[in-house]
Structure 1
Amino acid sequence: MQHLRWLLLPFSLVYGLVVIIRNWFYDAGLFKSHEFELPVICVGNLEIGGAGKSPMTEYLVRLLKDQYNLATLSRGYGRNSKGFITATATATATEIGDEPSQFKHKFPDVTVAVCEDRVAGIQQLKTEHNLIILDDAFQHRAVKAGLNVLLFDYNHLQKPKFVLPAGNLREPFSGRWRADMMVVTKCPDGLTEQQITKSYEQISPLNWQPLFFTSIAYQPLQDLQGKLTDTVIDADTTIFLLTGIANPKPLVQHIRQSTTNIIHHNYPDHHRFTLKNIAKLACEFFACRSQKKLIITTEKDAQRLGVQELIPTLAQLPILVQPIGIEFLNNGRQAFDTLLLNYVREHTQYN
């Protein structure tokens, strides 16, 4: 399949040229980028798929929510609705998208909003909030964020840097130079100096662009209601893994540290689970003769399981959720936090 994508290189050249011209129009002021008086932090990446934007957004919310009246603003990918919506406590992934639904579930006291037009969304939020965090908006040039945090998946740094459709980049790799801060995510534990040096060489940040490194921090398993469990996974446990995310490989590797008995029900990113999907999972689960067995899914996937027609079948299954966070490597957390907090303080002092 990868070799077939090389045939798409001519289309990538056209796509890349269009994106370059579009970015030049914004840089030259021919297309308008809207700036706002309040601090706006953008979390984004260059690739399609998951680079860890949601865990980073959640990290920023935890860092800033007690000091500022913040709101998160997302496009709301995969939702059935349109326009500006502020999430309620009962909002579902169908209404607002899976990531915003996850944010509201974890931070019920924080304003979570969705809008395809980020400018219009910020206009709606700015009167009652003094800080906006944009999730996945690095290519949304109509907003000129005050601070752009750009993420790179460590496991993809060595892959060819081609734009869509031959490659996975949304825009040419040179777009990284618009970032104010860069973070290499999903790094292996025990990252060596040699690996760090190679990452610097691959990304080539400018002198004023700090580069940080993080790894995935797997947290204790929870049930679908968010309550911690005392479940212990060992070599005799059979795990039915249900995922609809861009890159489930790190989670599979994490589970393999405890057991190799994994039956993976893997679906495309943002997949809307159907009754047929869950019925197939249930059938295989109950047919499994293992004495110790359970089902694990991700936080984002759990949001898409809250569909009314799925609930009766799900109620019969022991489904647990694997939350994740991020952990800064090489003592980088303090420097990262300081840069974030200084930016927000400097841009809220007159608000």
Structure 2
Amino acid sequence: MLLKPFSALYGGITDLRNRLYDNGFIKSIRPAQRCLSIGNLTVGGTGKTPAVEYLIRLLGQLDPSLAGGLATLSRGYGRDTTGFRIASPTDTAATLGDEPLQLYHNLGHAATVCVGEDRADALAQLTRLRPEIGTVVLDDAFQHRAVQPQLQLLLTDYNRPFYTDDPFPGGRLRERRHGAKRADLVLVTKCPHEPSDTERAQITAKISQYTRPNTPVLFAGLRYDTPKQFIDNQSVEAITGPVLLVSGLADARPLAQYVTETFGLWKHAAFGDHHAYTRADVDQLLRDCPPDTWLLTTQKDEVKLSALLTDSERKRRLAYLPVAMRFWRDTDAAVLEQAILSVYKKR
């Protein structure tokens, strides 16, 4: 209650900024590449990275000729470097950011992974350095209005939809709810089950209060795959729980629930989102984890933890959970495909 006036002030400031863009007082650019934006209204925790990976793989399936011509661009939150950077084999989470590094490991040659705080400048540099790239997926770019994407995909967490939230600092919104009007599609992420027709209709009605008329609302969940060992990235079929779960996420509840139901949860070492692990953290975690107990974490955390481990420590029972986005209904996946195809027909 005490923070409501500050939320109103923050919301007013973001409203003013959006009006300046809407009315042309602040200019935005249409870059040389086709740009598809993935973002949210809230601060973190909506599953953007799995959505980016899904979109890159979908683009490659829809048009195999795009091979070599796809890229992702994000800010690179949490990195120690600044400016535009194209991912390379020597990069770490410290130089690239944990989520871009995860994308780089997962996507391989499917896409060029880039980071840059100034999206417009980064796209200009990408045009100069990699002119063959014609399509860029902009990660966490809903509020980065200096660039005009051809498609805006807005994500909202099933467990905390934006229509129940308030602007910072009283809530977790980066701008007021009506910012959703800029979205071409809304994707409800992290659905723990397939929503019934009634639930879909209820959620869609609440979202539609803030979007343009007839904006599609799609529903997706997370699919956790077989854990993989730190030492060799090989799948581990026979993890016997309970396990020590380590996470540095904005919202680890869906992960903790899955681990509890699948393996059994002995202990959860929960760190803040994008936590920069230290050697002291690693020492404490290894002390807490008995030799016969598996330490299980996310791939986002593994790319940071693994860099701190010795070769002998990697041989311990350490594994990470690969995760991917999945649509609950094929019809929702088809709506996204058609929206993407329409972008290519316009150019």
Match of 1:217 among 201, 218, 223: 223
| Mapped pair 1:337 → 2:317 | no
Conservation of the 8 A alpha-carbon contact between 2:299 and 2:321: yes
Match of 1:153 among 146, 157, 160: 157
Following superposition, the deviation at residue 341 of structure 1 comes to 2.7
Residues in 1 aligned to 2:344 and 2:252: alpha-carbon distance in whole angstroms = 34
1:99 match: 99
Conservation of the 8 A alpha-carbon contact between 2:163 and 2:177: no
1:7 match: 2
TM-score of the two chains, using structure 1 as the length reference:
0.90
2:314 match: 315
Q: Which amino acid aligns with 1:115?
A: G
Following superposition, the deviation at residue 303 of structure 1 comes to 1.7
Given the superposition, is the C-alpha separation of residues 148 and 59 from structure 1 closer, same or farther in structure 2, using an over 3 Å criterion? same
Residues in 1 aligned to 2:232 and 2:250: alpha-carbon distance in whole angstroms = 23
Following superposition, the deviation at residue 171 of structure 1 comes to 0.5
Specify every segment of 5 or more residues in structure 2 that has no aligned partner in the other structure, as ranges. none
Query: 5 Å matches for 1:271-286?
Result: 271-286=275-290
1:67 match: 65
Query: 5 Å matches for 1:1-351?
Result: 6-65=1-60, 66-68=64-66, 69-109=69-109, 110-126=111-127, 127-157=131-161, 160-204=164-208, 205-224=211-230, 227-234=233-240, 237-286=241-290, 293-307=293-307, 309-311=308-310, 314-331=313-330, 332-347=332-347
Given the superposition, is the C-alpha separation of residues 38 and 159 from structure 1 closer, same or farther in structure 2, using an over 3 Å criterion? closer
Q: Deviations over 1:144-198 (max 9, x none)?
A: 1111100010111287321001100001010001011110011121311121111
Q: Which amino acid aligns with 1:116?
A: E
User: What is the root-mean-square deviation of aligned Cα atoms in Å?
Assistant: 1.8
Greater displacement, 69-78 / 122-131: 122-131
Residues in 1 aligned to 2:278 and 2:345: alpha-carbon distance in whole angstroms = 46
TM-score of the two chains, using structure 2 as the length reference:
0.91
Following superposition, the deviation at residue 77 of structure 1 comes to 0.3
SS, match of residue 17 in structure 1: helix
SS, match of residue 257 in structure 1: helix
Following superposition, the deviation at residue 333 of structure 1 comes to 1.3
SS, match of residue 60 in structure 1: helix
Residues in 1 aligned to 2:107 and 2:216: alpha-carbon distance in whole angstroms = 29
SS, match of residue 40 in structure 1: strand
Following superposition, the deviation at residue 208 of structure 1 comes to 3.6
Following superposition, the deviation at residue 246 of structure 1 comes to 0.7
Following superposition, the deviation at residue 345 of structure 1 comes to 4.5
Residues in 2 aligned to 1:310 and 1:228: alpha-carbon distance in whole angstroms = 18
Q: How many residues align?
A: 335
Given the superposition, is the C-alpha separation of residues 24 and 256 from structure 1 closer, same or farther in structure 2, using an over 3 Å criterion? same
Following superposition, the deviation at residue 67 of structure 1 comes to 3.2
Given the superposition, is the C-alpha separation of residues 67 and 341 from structure 1 closer, same or farther in structure 2, using an over 3 Å criterion? farther
Greater displacement, 240-249 / 337-346: 337-346
Specify every segment of 5 or more residues in structure 1 that has no aligned partner in the other structure, as ranges. 1-5
Conservation of the 8 A alpha-carbon contact between 2:39 and 2:140: yes
1:3 match: none
